[in-house]
């Protein structure tokens, strides 16, 4: 299939497909006598995998690394990337929980100050 058809079927812009090809995420397409790229059905599957990976927050480098593996190495690489990504998400969730707590405390402190007619701009400042 030509790049336009691949773009239409995958929902990915032709420019992104060309980028993925240059970046080594998508195997180089064969060229027809007219110079146009000719993609196999496997290219559609690979683009689907790239989209899934990106939607799950994987970097293009992580996706590229896994897509170059075969057999048991593919399975092991995929599992390792999943575990790494789960760890990253857990860390982000911990950070977000801490930020949320800090925001709740700040909101509560400001509400108390406003209720006491205190100005938050002067809180903690020493008189001049």
Q: Give the bridge partners for 30, in sequence order.
A: 38
pLDDT digits (tens, 9 = 90+) for 60-103: 999 999 988 889 999 999 999 999 999 999 999 999 999 999 99
Domain assignments of the chain as residue spans, ordered by start? 1-56, 69-119
Query: CA 31 → CA 2, 24, 63, 69, 104, distances in Å?
Result: 10, 17, 25, 25, 59
In angstroms, the first-to-last Cα distance of the chain is: 75
Query: CA 99 → CA 43, 65, 87, 103, 104, distances in Å?
Result: 42, 33, 18, 6, 9
| pLDDT of 122 | 60
- Phi, psi at residue 37, to the nearest 5°? -70, 140
- Phi, psi at residue 108, to the nearest 5°? -60, -45
| pLDDT of 4 | 94
pLDDT digits (tens, 9 = 90+) for 16-70: 999 999 999 999 889 888 888 899 999 999 999 999 999 999 999 999 999 888 8
Architecture of the domain whose range is 1-56: Orthogonal Bundle (1.10)
| CA-closest candidate to residue 10, choices 43, 57, 55 | 43
């Amino acid at each position: 299939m030509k790049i336009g058809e691949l773009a239409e079927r995958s929902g990915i812009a032709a420019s992104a497909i060309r980028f993925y090809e240059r970046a080594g995420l998508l195997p180089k397409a064969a060229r027809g006598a007219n110079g146009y790229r000719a993609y196999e059905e496997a290219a559609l599957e690979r683009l689907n995998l790239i989209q899934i990976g990106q939607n799950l927050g994987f970097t293009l480098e992580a996706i590229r690394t896994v897509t170059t593996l075969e057999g048991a190495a593919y399975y092991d690489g995929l599992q390792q990337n999943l575990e790494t990504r789960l760890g990253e998400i857990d860390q982000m969730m911990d950070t977000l929980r801490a930020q949320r707590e800090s925001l709740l405390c700040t909101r509560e402190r400001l509400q108390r100050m406003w209720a006491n007619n205190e100005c938050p701009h002067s809180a903690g400042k020493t008189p001049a």
